[in-house]
């Protein structure tokens, strides 16, 4: 049980860090926003 809890906590922390990094990139350069738009429009 302790192992599962630790794994869940680590995953949540990693996700939060990734989200913060992506948000910072959007605020600074907007590269992430452009990348998402390109992926959303494959045609």
Q: What is the pLDDT of residue 34?
A: 57
> According to the model, what pLDDT value does residue 39 have?
60
Summarize pLDDT for 4-42 with one digit per residue, the tens: 999 999 999 999 999 888 877 666 655 555 555 556 555
pLDDT at 21 (0 to 100): 84
Per-residue pLDDT at 24: 75
**pTM beyond 0.75:** no
Cβ(26)–Cβ(35) below 8 Å = no
Domain residue ranges in the chain: 2-40
pLDDT at position 1 is 87
């Amino acid at each position: 049980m302790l192992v599962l809890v630790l794994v869940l906590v680590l995953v949540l922390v990693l996700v939060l860090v990734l989200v913060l990094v992506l948000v910072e990139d959007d605020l600074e350069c907007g590269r992430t926003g452009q990348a998402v738009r390109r992926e959303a429009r494959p045609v």
